[in-house]
Structure formats: C-alpha cells, structure tokens
Amino acid sequence: APPIAKPTVPLSPAPGTSLPRPAIPATPPRPASPTTVVSPPSVPPTTPASPRIVAPPPVSNAPSAPAPLNASATPASPGGQVVRPAPPNAPPARPQTPGPRMIVPQTGPRPVYKAPPPAPPRPGQPIANRPMPGRPAPGRPVPGQPIFQRPRPMGGGGAPGTRPPLRPGERRPMHPTRQGASGPRPIGVGPGLPPPGTTRPGSRPGGPSRRPGQRYVPRGVKEGPMKGFVPPPRLSLSNEPLPITRSITIAEGISVKDLAEKLEIRAKDLIARLLAKGVFATINQTLDAELASEMARFFGAETSIISFEEQAAKEVAETSAGEQGSAPEGGPRPPVVTIMGHVDHGKTTLLDSIRSTNVAEGEAGGITQHIGAYKVSMLDKDSPAYGREIVFLDTPGHEAFTRMRSRGAKATDIVVLVVAADDGVMPQTIEAIDHAHAAEVPIIVAVNKIDKPGALPDRVKKQLADRGLMPEDWGGKTVFVDVSAKQKTNLNLLLEMICLVADLQELKANPDRPATGVVLEAKLDRGRGPVATVLVQNGTLSTSDNFVVGNVYGKVRAMFDDRGHQMEKAPPSTPVEILGMEGLPQSGDQFLVVADRDRARGISDYREQKFREATLAKSSRVSLEGLAEQMKTAGIKELNIILKADVHGSIEVLSDLLGKMSNDKVRLKVLRAGVGAITESDVLLASASNAIIIGFNVRPERKAQELAEQEEVDIRLHSIIYELQDEIKRAMTGLLEPTIKETYQGRAEVLDTFRIPKVGTIAGCRVSDGLIKRDSEVRLLRDNVVIFKGKVGSLRRFKDDASQVTNGMECGISIANYGDIKVGDVIEAFVTERVAAEVMA
C-alpha cells in the first residue's frame, strides 16, 4: 500500500499563530482510496481574475510545529474545507469542482476630494487670485465634502449654493476657461482641465475646443445682419394702440403681407393681432377695407382706401416715374366719339354712311338696341385729316336705353349729337345733352336730314341755343355741321371737325403699360361662351393677358376687331371682342390687366364675396317700415317674369323698364334675368312659380320648347322694345279684376206701406228724382243711413206692372226678400256694370 501523506494544513493552529492560506489545485484531485484522502503536493496558488478579492488575514512568519495526526480527526480538503471519511460501503465520491465566484460590492465611506495644498502667494498677485486658507475657490469642490455636492450659483441666502461675499477691494473671479486681465489662466489647476504642458485634441491655443463642424469666429468679430439692414420693430400683443403718426394708401382686399409691408411691421405681428381679435388669417389672405383700416389705426397709421383700378394706375405711374424720372403721358391716340340723339333721327344711318356699310337694315325695327363700336379711317387724300383714325360708339335713342347712353358718354371723348332738321329737339335729345354735360365731354351737333323738304336747320340752332349750345357762327363755342346721311353730304367736314376738337383736347395714351378699359357689352355665345366688347382706353392688350373685370376674371384667349378679324395686340382706343372670361361681366365694368392669374382670381373672389354679403344684408334687413310696406302690398297682384336677352345691356334696360311699369295695383317681379337662350331650367322655374318667359332677341332650345308645351308655360318672344312694352301692359291688365261701376238712376220717398199676403210689404212711393226701373238695384235709406241693399221685387203703377216710373209719378215698390219698410224711408235706384281695369304705366 502506498504511504499515507501527511496533511499540509494543521487541524488546529498553534498558540500565537494563524492558519496559512490553503492552496488551490490546478485540477480536481482524485481520491486514492475510499477511506483515505491524499493531499497533493504544495503548488503555487493560481487565483482567477476578479473585480475585487478580500485580502487574506496576515500570516505570521514564525515556524509552526506540526500537529500530531489524530485518527479521529477529519482531514482537510485541498480547498481548505474539512472532508469527512466516507463509510465503508459508500459509492465512490464524485469529483468536486470550484463553485461560482462571488463579487463583493464596494462598501465603506465615499471618496472625498482632497484639495492640494495652497500655493504661496506670488509677489504682485491680485487679492482676488490669492489662495485663502479655509475657503474654497468659487466653483471648486469644498474640501471634506463629496465631489457631487459642489456649491451651486444663484443659491438663496444661507443655502449651500450661496456665493461667498467679496472682501473690500476684491473682484469676483472669472470662469476658469476665460482669460482675465492678468493673462491666461494656468492650465491644469482646475478640475477637468488637462495637466500642464498638454492641450486637448482639436483645440486652438488659449481657448476651449470647438464642436465638430463649428465655425471659428475670432474674438471681437460679431455676427449679425448685413450692413444697412434695419430689422422691423418687435411689437407686443398690448391692447393699447399706437399713436397716429403717418398715413398710408391701401387698396380694397389688400393681403396681410402687403398690409404688413405698408405698416413696416412683421407679418406675424399683424397675424397675431388679428388672432387676438378673433380673426384667423394667413399671410396671403385678403382683408376687407374696414378690417384693414382698423389694423392700420392700431399700428399707428391713418388709411385712405382706393379701388384696384386706382391702385394699379398708381403703381404704373410710380414705376414709370422711377424708370424715366417722370410719368410719361405717351403718344397721341385716336378719339372715341359717341353718337347720341333721339330715336329715328338717323344716327345709325349716319354711321353707316361713314363706314360705307349697311347696319341699319339689320337692326330690328330700324332702331339700335345695343352699343355698336367701330373704328373708321380717313381715306380722303385731299382732307387734312387723311390717315387719322376715329372710334365711333353708336348708342340707342329709345327712351328705355338711358343707362346705355350714360355709359357711352362716360367712355367717350367727344359726343356727336344728331338732331333731325325736320323734327327738332326731342326728349331724348335733351337727355343726351344732360349726359354729355355730366361727363364734361365736348359736343358737336350734326343737323341731319337737311335734304328733306321740311328741314329747318336754323330752328334747330335756336332750340339748342336755348339749351346752352350756342353755335360758332352765332358767337358761341359749339360746332354745328349740316349733314345728310342718305345723300352723304358734308360727312368729311364732320370728320375733320371731330379731329380738330380732338387735337384741342390733346388726347394721349401710353401703349407700353398694362391695358385698362371699359366693357361696352357682354353676351353669352352658345359656341364661344362669355363674350365681351371692350374698349381699350390705355395701354396695349395682348392675347394671353390675365385680366379682371368687375367680379369676373379670365385670360385673353382670342381677340376680334369690329369687322371680325382676329388680332394679337390692341393699342389704345381700340374696340375689341375678347374671349376667355370665367363668367359674364356687367356692362360698364372696368377692365384691368394684372400680373398673374392668382392675383386676378383673388381680386375676383374678394369682389364676389363683398357682393354676396351686400345682397344677403339687403335681403335679411327687416324694419318696421318694411313690415308696414309688406302689409300694405299684401293685396297687390304680382306678375312673375323670367327675362332672357342676347346681351347684358339689354337685360339692364328691360329690368329698368319693367320696374317703371309696376304700379299700386300690379307689381312686376323678375324672378330670373340672364343672357342666352331659353333653357329647360327656365321653363321649370316658370312652371313652379306661375311665371311667363320673355325672350328678347333669343329663342328657346328645342327641349325647352317641348317642355314648355307639356307644362303649359307661356313664352313670349320679341325683338323690338316698344312691342315688348305693349305686351307687358296687356298681361298686367289681364291680372287685374274688373272694377264695378255704379250708375245712379233715381230716388223715391215712401208715403205709405201695405201688407199683402204671399207678396210682402208694398211701399207706396212718389218718385222725387230721376227714374226707377224694374231691373234696378235699390238701397233703402232711413235717416240717411243705408238699411238694406237689394233689387226691386215688383214695380206697379196702380194695378198694372210697369217697366219704369219717371219723376213725379206715384208707384208701388216691393224690395225682394225684405219687408221692414217704414213711412219716411228713401229708396234709391242704381245700376252696376263691370269695367275692365286700366294699368297706369
């Protein structure tokens, strides 16, 4: 048997000694026998790496005596544990492996910062930089306290973060990284700074390091806005308005951005003020004139409001003045001449002779019902006005076309007043003179029809002289020309006089600016859509120009002259027919070319919104006077009309005419007035409202005609205005109920009464006035009070029936279905008849 090895660790230490550290075997031991444990030879201990291992107790260097081997003692295991011997019959023990390592957490007091000993003061060192015993430097850890409990600035009185007070003559030390008056701070004397002689990577000498991508700005260089830029003042949301210090001009529907630029404030300040007022607006949103004026007054500016057209003209004038030093007047332009006068005095015939065309035959009834615009050139080489161009506007002469004449007078430079030599001055002649005086336009009188036998030109001169138009040959200033349209007499003289008066006015226009003008007529063409006749007054109109006219905007798709030829450009004083409008404008609206389509749409939307608001406000306004008027007109008959015409000007004229025809018995109500053919929707509306449809120079569509026959809707078509007027009068008369006309016949006094069975009361009377017939109606009067009204039951003279009884005769009268007749009553006889009502227009 192998020898039993002695244990290397005694079971009990000797007095005054300690147990040695047990050796850790490299491999687990194998037991030699079931009953004995053999200890391996002593090898150097191998300790695995661990974060922290508790230090073993100190081992004494004194030799220890080996303890005797006790049979009953339990041998120690190689790991220092006691191993008891296994029983004899026990199975062999499994080899033991070392258990998991245990990391012991750090315990004990927290690490404390120990400040280095203060350096002795240097000669000449400032008091603020001298180290003082017992007081830490500002921003440094306090000795004896943990590092994270540093004093914080802005502490309250007595709080740990309170900065220590300064001594007399002492200055507050600067930040460790800043450079003081005494030079740069030494490196490495504060926490977090590198040791002396080293620099941070990426840092510049004498300063802190920069972040990646940070731009280096030398000291003394201040970044800011560019030179000469003055930022707008920052305004608060105070409710106190600023004092009025200036005046600005704004256009209707100005945007928030434009208003902010005029007020010289930031747009967000204006939006914030609008938001405080409860108005949610964006920078491109338009403001109405009232709100814009209120905002301008709040920011210290008084406002004057102008229209878009005036604003555009002002911008053009400012731009031209800035480019050329003064606003250019432009070159000469052709004069615009309006021909006015009474109906059938030969206005259109005179213009036909000048144009060498035949327009009068095409007019319905031989009268003009639209404004015709034409451009004429002087072709007579012997005339001093050879090559000159004149624009003529032919206005209607009927009394209903007052608005057209007024619009023509406002768009013209010269008025040619045509007066027939045989008729003289008529009502529409006087009205045309008033329109010309109101527009401050010079008048040239053309005395027409001098070839007729009864022509009296001198009488016309005297009549017009009484109206303030004194002829030149009588010492006045008005030009008179005797002409004959049919014989073409003195037409060149008339054109020369027009050019002479135009030269005295010095008419000029700038063709290089955006075009402006006025709408003469507007109509809805079935194949081309909305079409407008526009007179270009200034600037040059080109195709693809964006424009706004009234509440409508659009883009010029095509242009045509008065003879139907397509044009690319229209210079000043040129009448053109344009296509490309999004809607139908009204006659007389101002035409204005704008920069882009968005601005045109914004102007149009703003005007349409204001128009709707005004319409709703007018329709929803209810007052006591309005209620009284409604109660007064409750019993008035109404004639509902749906009006369709070929051009917008005719709609205006017919609406005014129908408004004048209404009276206290019948009121004409126009349910719908539009331009274009009569459609199915018009027929359906007429059927639902019991209205009649009136078409002026238009016809119904095929489906609309069939639907009108099914619904039994009355459609009246006319092309002459006075025939339409007579038709409306007959329709108004048909609505009125006939009036009851009473005719007095006579009276009789009751002298006595008789009662006859099965007949009733008979009154014995004497006729005192007139006569009484058997079929007369009677009224019984007692003390001049009507007691009963009825008819004569029977009339007898003595015992015979009589057809009538005359004055002074006696008779017996019974009243049908009435018997309370007394002596002294009066019986009046009368007859009634139904008379058709008359309409007073």
Rounded to whole angstroms, how far apart are CA atoms 779 and 531? 68
pLDDT number for residue 328: 52
Q: Which of 505, 537, 561 is the last residue of a domain?
A: 505
Decide if 259 contacts 274 (C-beta within 8 A): no
Q: Are residues 440 and 351 in the same domain?
A: yes
* pLDDT confidence of residue 839: 56
Q: What is the pLDDT of residues 470-482, one digit of tens each?
A: 888 888 888 899 8
3-state DSSP call for residue 483?
A: coil
Which pLDDT score, from 0 to 100, does residue 317 have?
A: 60
Q: Please, which residues have CB within 8 angstroms of residue 1's CB and are 6 or more apart in sequence?
A: none
The answer, as to whether pTM is greater than 0.75, is: no
In terms of Cα–Cα distance, which of 179, 178, 174, 198 is closest to 187? 198
pLDDT of residue 232: 57
Select from 319, 350, 370 the last residue of a domain.
319
C-alpha neighbours within 13 Å on the C-beta side of residue 720: 11
Furthest C-alpha separation in the chain: 192
- Of the chain, the end-to-end C-alpha distance in Å amounts to 157
Mean pLDDT computed over every residue of the chain? 73
Q: φ, ψ for residue 302 (rounded to 5)? A: -90, 145
What is the structure's pLDDT at 327? 44
Distances (CA, A) of 732 to 172, 400, 415, 744: 103, 19, 38, 30
Q: CA–CA separation, 179 vs 760, rounded Å?
A: 139
- As given in the structure block, the two tokens for residue 273 are 């003020």
Distance CA 378, CA 665 (A): 56
Is residue 436 included in any domain, yes or no?
A: yes
Which of residues 601 and 613 earns the better pLDDT score?
A: 601
CA–CA gap between residue 138 and residue 144 (Å, rounded): 16
User: What is the chain's length?
Assistant: 841
Query: In this structure, is residue 622 part of a structural domain?
Result: no
Predicted pLDDT at 775:
86
Same domain assignment for residues 657 and 521? no
Close Cβ partners of 727 (under 8 Å, ≥ 6 residues apart): 694, 716, 718
Confidence band for 178, pLDDT divided at 50, 70 and 90: low
Nearest C-alpha neighbor of 412 from the set 312, 331, 518: 518
The sign of the dihedral angle between the CA atoms of 620, 624, 629, 630 is positive
The verdict on 717 and 756 lying in the same domain is no
Helix (H, G, I), strand (E, B) or coil at 673: strand
Domains in the chain, number: 5
Of residues 418 and 60, the one with the higher pLDDT is: 418
* Same domain flag for 485 and 340: yes
One domain for residues 443 and 546: no
Could you give the CA distance from residue 457 to residue 468 in angstroms, rounded to a whole number?
Answer: 17
pLDDT digits (tens, 9 = 90+) for 676-691: 888 888 898 888 888 8
- Say if residue 789's pLDDT is above 60: yes
Q: Which residues contact 591 (CB under 8 A, 6 or more apart)?
A: 515, 516, 517, 518, 519, 534, 536, 547, 549
Q: Quick one: average pLDDT of 775-803? A: 87
d(C-alpha 46, C-alpha 56), whole Å: 15
Q: Which of 74-88, 164-178, 553-567 has the lowest mean pLDDT?
A: 74-88
* 208 confidence band (pLDDT: 50, 70, 90): low
The tens digit of pLDDT for each residue in 335-373 reads 988 888 887 777 878 888 887 744 444 444 444 444 567
Is pLDDT at 809 greater than 80 in this prediction?
yes
Task: Read off the CATH number of the domain in which 255 is found.
Answer: 1.10.10
**Site of tokens 């389509």:** 597
For residue 784, what pLDDT is reported? 84
Residue 837, Cβ density class (10 Å: 0-12 exposed, 13-18 middle, ≥19 buried): middle
Of 54-58, 159-163, 369-373, 635-639, which gets the smallest average pLDDT?
A: 54-58
In 712-828, where does DSSP find H-type helix? 721-735
Residue 10 within any structural domain of the chain:
no
Closest CA to 367 of 394, 349, 343: 343
518: tokens are: 């006025």
Task: Tell me if 354 is assigned to some domain.
Answer: yes
Asked whether residue 427 is assigned to any structural domain, the reply reads yes
In this structure, are 499 and 586 located in the same domain? no
CATH number for 554: 2.40.30.10
CA dist., res. 522 & res. 585, Å (int): 6
Cβ(520)–Cβ(575) below 8 Å: yes
Confirm whether 492 is domain-assigned. yes
Q: Which of 586, 616, 646 is the last residue before a domain boundary? A: 616
Residues 402 and 548 in one domain: no
The shares of helix, strand and coil residues in the chain, as percent rounded to the nearest 5, are 25, 25, 50
Q: How many CB atoms lie within 10 A of CB 610?
A: 15
pLDDT digits (tens, 9 = 90+) for 121-162: 677 666 555 556 666 665 566 666 655 554 555 444 445 555
| pLDDT at residue 666 tops 70 | yes
Place 467 in a pLDDT band, splitting at 50, 70 and 90. Answer: confident
Q: CA–CA separation, 394 vs 347, rounded Å? A: 7
Same-domain check for residues 488 and 521: no
Residues 340 and 475 reside in one and the same domain: yes
Q: Give the mean pLDDT of 204-216.
A: 58
Q: Check pLDDT > 80 for residue 717.
A: yes
Query: Which domain range does residue 799 map to?
Result: 740-834
As a whole-number percent, the residues of the chain with pLDDT over 70 amount to 62
**562 with 484, same domain?**
no
Query: What local confidence, expressed as pLDDT, does residue 281 receive?
Result: 84
What is the number of helices (H) and of strands (E) in the chain?
A: 15, 34
- Give per-residue pLDDT as tens, 569-587: 999 988 899 998 888 888 7
Reported as a single tens digit per residue, the pLDDT across 269-324 is: 889 888 888 888 888 888 888 888 888 888 888 888 887 767 766 666 655 544 44
Pair (752, 810) in one structural domain? yes
Highest mean pLDDT among 16-20, 93-97, 495-499: 495-499
∠ CA 745-832-639, rounded to 5°: 150
The answer to the question of residue 417 being in a domain is yes
Look at residue 158 and tell me if it is in a domain.
no
* Top-confidence residue, 457 or 235: 457
In this structure, the answer to whether residues 450 and 366 fall within a common structural domain is: yes
Q: Kindly report, residue by residue over 222-273, the tens digit of the pLDDT.
A: 555 556 656 655 555 556 777 888 888 888 778 888 889 888 898 888 898 8
Read off the CATH number of the domain in which 500 is found. Answer: 3.40.50.300
* CA–centroid distance for 254 within its chain: 10
For residue 625, the model assigns a pLDDT of 56
